[in-house]
Structure formats: C-alpha cells, structure tokens
Chain A
C-alpha cells in the first residue's frame, strides 16, 4: 500500500504537482491518467523516489520515504520494480543478462539459482526462447515483456509502469495490460500504472486517479468513470469516437 499525502513538486517557477493525496492499495492495478503535461510522469518519479517532493509525504506500507536513511532507501528501492516507457533494457546485455542483473547485484544466490529464477520469470512472461538475444534483436512487445520480467525478478512489493503499452499494436497492448494485472494478483503487489490509454483503463483499471494541471481532479473505479459528471474527466474519456459510442450505448441501456 502506498499512501500519498499532500505532495507538491516544483521546477524553478513551474509548480507541477499541487498537493496530491491518494491511496494505492495492495493487490490492485492502480492507474494514473491524465493529458500530457498533467504531471503524471513527475508524480510517478516522486513515487519511485527519483524526485524528492518539496512538500508532503509518501509512505510505503507505513514507511515514510523522506524519513528513511540512505541504506533504508536503498533497501526500499530493491522492493520496487519499474517498467519504463521505452523498456530501458541494457543494450550491452542479453535478455537473460538484463533479467539476471538485479539478482547479481543484490543477492548472494548461486549462478544456478539465479538461472532458475530467470528461467521462471521469462517463462511467466511467455518469453522462454529469447534468453540469448540482445534487446535490439527483439520486438517492442518482447522488450516490454523482458522489462516486466526484470521488474518482477526480485519479487517486488511495488510495481510501477510508465506507459507500458505505448508504441505497441492494440493486441500486444492488451496482452501486456493483462500480464501486468495477472502478476499484480498473483504476487499480491501494489501496482501503479501511468497511462493515457483508455483501453488500459477499461481493461485493468481497478483504481483510477485522474490528474489535471498537477491536481488530483478525480478518483474512482473503471465503472465509476463512465458515470461521473466531472467535466474534465468526461472530456478526457470521451475524446475518442469509440468511447463516445460506448457512453451512448451505456446511456441507452440505462434508459
């Protein structure tokens, strides 16, 4: 569980986050949505500890990040897994090397134990035949799956994903979304996904936080998002014709 309490963040004169408070629950896929420039990425980087909030606190299962010493922060970071927008795989390492990297860095496991764990997670993400390939030799969807495997190899308590299905075709995007949801339930972890893809919202959004101009404009579930009267949310959700039609059908069904 991650509790966010009145988080502010500014860069020079730009006040990017203006007092965000929310709760991300364990075992759920929590989505942060909003238009480009709404502060989603900055918020995610604050949650990851890459940016320090100017004001407010973020606590991870009761541990307030700002009050931890550097060793405790490092330990906490080892409980986090992150899937970056561009996958951020290490170019110089094979798929297996990328997934094994956190184990080599932070555990005292033997080579065979590490290999077993890598084989297990790569199989879990349906990539059991790409061990010796380099990131440049595999597709975008496969790179995302390797990034997910790397993120979960250390059995994290918290999984963060920044635009996990950007640049992917709709079918692969749904596969990635479902994989993240399955992993969240299977490992009972707190998952936070930063996205502006409404398909993801409808597919896996158990809790949705909508940001606008650095403020939390709305929060709720994927079912509630269709019923809300919040103008900013409806403008965002129904910006595509497909969702306009879905809303129309929903209204007709209700009447």
Chain B
C-alpha cells in the first residue's frame, strides 16, 4: 500500500514540476548550473570507468575464446556490442544513480531540513519547478556523456586487446565494424534518455518529500540510490523487450 502511495505522489510531483514555470532568466542560469554539476561534473568518473571496463570486456572475451574456429575479430565485436548495448547506457546509469542521484537527494533534502523549500513556497515560488525542472533539462544532455563513454570504452578495449597481446589492431577494428546495426545506437540513446529522466526525478522525489533531520538526509540518499537502480534495471528489461525483442 505504501508503494502505491509513493507511486501516486511521484506522479503528482511530476505534474507539479511542469506547472507554474519559473521566470526564464532565472531558469536559464539554474539549467546552466545543473549542466555544470550533473553533466560536466560526471564526465571524469565516467571516462575513467568506461576506459577500464572496456579493457576488461576485451580481455575477458579474448580469454574465453578457446576454440580455433572462433574468429579473432570477436574481441572487437563483443567489446563494441557490450559497450554500446549495455555497459554505456545501463551500467553508467547505475553509477550515475550513486553519484548524481545521491547529490540530488542530499542537496534537496538539506534544503527541506533547513526550511529553504518552505521559504520558496511562502514566497509563492513553485519549489518543484524551481528545483527539479532544471535537473531534468540538464540531464537531457546525458546521452552526450554516454556517447563519450561508448567511445572511451571501445578505446579501452582496443588498448587492452592490442597492447595486452590478446588481439591485433586489424582484427579488433574488423570486429568493431562487423555486422554493425545502427539501430543499436538509437536503442541505446533512447534508453539513456529514459534513464536520464529517472535519474533526475526519483532522487528529487526522495529529497523533496523527506522528513526529519541530517540523519534522514543520509537515509534518503541511500533509499534514492536503491530505488533509482531498481527502476533503471526494470525499465532496461522492458525497453529491451520492446525495442529489440
């Protein structure tokens, strides 16, 4: 019953986010600030993780090719498919649920605890539009960092494969180009956009409606990470079934 009530209040929150918009001149600066915090602030960690995960995928694939009948270009092919289809959109989103999600929940939660949200409401500001809408718009740029994560992940695979002696550069690049289906990239970006919306709204919900003090802000951040991850995993399955099934 509690879950149903939470889903209901989440839906009401989403409706409120798009009502009574904040003055554009203020909203513009809020959006730019959020792009800096949420997008550019996440670039470094995602590039770092993508590079090494790409390398690990290439090594694991190479080590599991035991039959001589399997072509060597499989290393590049498997790296490309893993990175584009799953690692970049889904795994990166789980990482973002930890990094960006907990930041969103704790910053909004702290504003709730210190009555800053009440102050906004007393002034007649739509606090949900003011706080959540810029995050949703900023995270529309999320596919941009996922595209970079894909590129860096594949580069990581190439470096690990070639310099680790698991594949030649020619085989790896041939594998990368083998049976390439452009729709897989479209599918990946569609998933990313849906995940971006989840990453902006679920942590905001947990921060905005939290009750209590500093301890509860910490608990809300943890709960928000768990639920954002769960929803991303479930939607990943549904979207894969719908778009590729």
- How many chain A residues touch B (CB < 8 A): the figure is 24
User: Which residues of B sit under 8 angstroms from A70, Cβ to Cβ?
Assistant: 20
Contact A88 B115 (CB under 8 A): yes
Does A91 have its Cβ within 8 Å of any Cβ on chain B?
Answer: yes
Contact A50 B124 (CB under 8 A): no
User: Which residues of A sit under 8 angstroms from B25, Cβ to Cβ?
Assistant: 104
Stretch in A77-85, A198-206, A211-219, A240-248 touching the partner: A77-85
Contact B26 A104 (CB under 8 A): yes
Does B121 have its Cβ within 8 Å of any Cβ on chain A?
Answer: yes
Q: Once the chains are docked, how many angstroms separate the CA of A94 from the CA of B119?
A: 16
B216 CB to closest chain A CB (Å) equals 16
Q: Once the chains are docked, how many angstroms separate the CA of A50 from the CA of B23?
A: 22
Name the residue on A nearest B125 (C-beta).
A105
A105 CB to closest chain B CB (Å) equals 6
Contact A105 B118 (CB under 8 A): no
User: Which residues of A sit under 8 angstroms from B123, Cβ to Cβ?
Assistant: 77-78, 82, 101-102, 105-106
- Of B20, B23, B119, B125, the residue contacting A82 (CB under 8 A) is B119
Interface residues of B in 5-28 (CB under 8 A from A): 20, 22-23, 25-26
A11 CB to closest chain B CB (Å) equals 12
- How many chain B residues touch A (CB < 8 A): the figure is 16
Does A125 have its Cβ within 8 Å of any Cβ on chain B?
Answer: no
Q: Once the chains are docked, how many angstroms separate the CA of A120 from the CA of B201?
A: 40
A55-97 CB mask vs B (1 if < 8 Å, else 0) is 0000000000000001001110110101011101111000000
B159-197 CB mask vs A (1 if < 8 Å, else 0) is 000000000000000000000000000000000000000
Does A180 have its Cβ within 8 Å of any Cβ on chain B?
Answer: no
Consensus secondary structure, chain A interface: mixed
- Of A78, A88, A102, the residue contacting B116 (CB under 8 A) is A88
Contact A85 B115 (CB under 8 A): yes
Q: Once the chains are docked, how many angstroms separate the CA of A104 from the CA of B23?
A: 8
Does A192 have its Cβ within 8 Å of any Cβ on chain B?
Answer: no
Interface residues of A in 78-132 (CB under 8 A from B): 78, 80, 82, 84-86, 88-91, 101-102, 104-106
28 A-B contacts, Cβ less than 8 Å apart?
Answer: A50-B122, A70-B20, A73-B124, A75-B124, A77-B121, A77-B123, A78-B123, A78-B124, A80-B122, A82-B119, A82-B122, A82-B123, A84-B118, A84-B119, A85-B115, A86-B114, A86-B115, A88-B114, A88-B115, A88-B116, A88-B118, A89-B116, A90-B119, A91-B114, A104-B25, A105-B22, A105-B123, A105-B125
